[in-house]
Amino acid sequence: MYIIGIPKEIKQFERRVSLVPSDIRRLLKDIKDSGDSAAIADIIIYVQSGAGLEAGYSDTEYIDSGAMILDTIEDIYDKANIIVKVKEPQPREYALITSKHIIFAFFHFASNNELIHAMFDSGANCYAYETIKDDKGLYPILTPMSIIAGTKSMIEADRYLKKIERKNIHSSITIIGVGNVGKAAADQAVLLGYKTIYLIDKDYDKIKKIEESNPSIYKAFVMNEINLKTLLIFSNVVISSIYSNGEKASKVITNKLLDLMSRSRTIIMDVAIDQGGTTEQSVPMTFQNPVVRYKNTLIYCVPNIPSSAPVEASILLSNSIYPYLLCFLGLDGDSCDSSDSGEYSDYNGYRKRFDELQKGLYVNYTAANAANTYK
């Protein structure tokens, strides 16, 4: 029997919910429409009371969608064997997790050894959203959250420049790593009126195309020590968004580079803080206390930026989780077809194809793999 549990997120200032009522209703309808009487009888969905309130969803809406409400997080973990979360389990949850559990979440194992070992000890199987790729090599669950994070990080940086009266037509933005976060930040910077945006990335051809789309604003630089040093010294805002499929972020902004920046009152938005951060001073902070101060430089280190847009983020997250959950339950043969030869290559030991679950290949991440990696 599949018993799905949706707990209320307890990470500080996390306001998203993993599945919205419309997707629960859709899931139950798809199960019913499948005609599989065993599946219909064997799937139950529990939602913790208040889980969706910050995202605009009441318990009544969840009940109307076909879910049942449980009062406490302990009840959710006790009754459910599939836990669908937003963020990684918090220390309070560790004791609730056992070998019966399959957990979907943004785990970000690379920056959290305590979490790795807690999951290893529990025996749970863990699906990390941030390492799931589709057959085109894209990250269907991570991407919409990355776009929100990039947009919000630039808006927050702009607010900071206005506060210290440093925003003007000569203000310069440097974006380190121009993936989904970086591109969204660049687009938002243009909308906010910035005229000088430096893009630095290992994939020069990619960012050169962006430069060519608007050469009067964008300037592309290949990632190397000299270029990075030069751009950091002359930038008012740095959006640091390096990501490499679940791996720990590279500390590309060293203390030596931070010392060189100390005269310019720069703000660094370290969007890679989920994966450990890209500066040698970065540590996870909160919305209430978001920055690390290093001399005259501020380093913004909030690991769950998308939760600042809980309604939009919850809908997008739920929509992107839905097809994988449906596939996991064995109810979508089309999306679970593994006929092409694409591979998943994350460091946690995921199976070659997420959609091979339908064919019984259950070699997903186990905490032993990560525990061995981080001994």
Dist. CA 250–CA 254, nearest whole Å: 10
Confidence at residue 323, expressed as pLDDT on a 0 to 100 scale? 86
Q: Between 349 and 309, whose confidence is greater?
A: 309
Distance CA 315, CA 131 (A): 20
Please choose, from the candidates 346, 296, 302, 365, the residue with its C-alpha nearest in 3D space to the C-alpha of residue 103: 365
- Among candidate residues 16, 2, 7, 15, the one with its CA nearest the CA of residue 92: 7
Residues 6+ apart with CB under 8 A from 109: 115, 116, 128, 246, 348, 370
Place of tokens 């006929």: 339
CB 200 within 8 A of CB 228: yes
For residue 28, pLDDT beyond 80: yes
pLDDT band for 348, please (50, 70, 90 cuts).
Answer: very low
| Average pLDDT taken over every residue of the chain | 86
Q: What is the pTM of this model?
A: 0.88
Average pLDDT over residues 93-102: 96
- The torsion defined by the Cα of 95, 98, 104 and 106, in degrees rounded to 10, comes to 40
Tell me: pLDDT of 202 over 70.
yes
How many CB atoms neighbour CB 345 within 10 A? 12
Confidence (pLDDT) at 38 = 56
Residue whose entry in the numeric block shows the structure tokens 């989780």: 321
Q: How far apart are CA 107 and CA 131, in angstroms?
A: 9
| pLDDT given for residue 243 in this prediction | 84
Number of other CB atoms surrounding residue 338 within 10 Å = 17
Q: How many CB atoms lie within 10 A of CB 19?
A: 30
Q: Residue 86 above 90 pLDDT? A: yes
Q: 276-328, pLDDT tens digit by residue?
A: 999 999 999 999 999 999 999 999 999 999 999 999 999 999 999 998 888 78
Enumerate the β-bridge partners of residue 298: 267, 293
Backbone torsions φ then ψ of 197, nearest 5 degrees: -125, 115
pLDDT one-digit tens code per residue, 143-176: 999 999 999 999 999 999 988 877 776 799 999 9
Q: Can you list the positions of beta strands (E) in the chain?
A: 2-6, 43-48, 68-70, 82-87, 102-106, 125-128, 172-176, 196-201, 218-222, 237-240, 267-270, 291-294, 297-300
Rounded to an integer, the average pLDDT of 188-193 is 96
Q: What domains sit in the chain, N to C, each tagged with a CATH number?
A: 2-140+310-373 (3.40.50.720), 143-302 (3.40.50.720)
Asked whether the predicted pLDDT for residue 338 surpasses 80, the reply is no
Segment 361-368 mean pLDDT? 36
204-257: per-residue pLDDT in tens?
999 999 999 999 999 999 999 999 999 999 999 999 999 877 788 899 999 999
Higher pLDDT: 343 or 118? It is 118
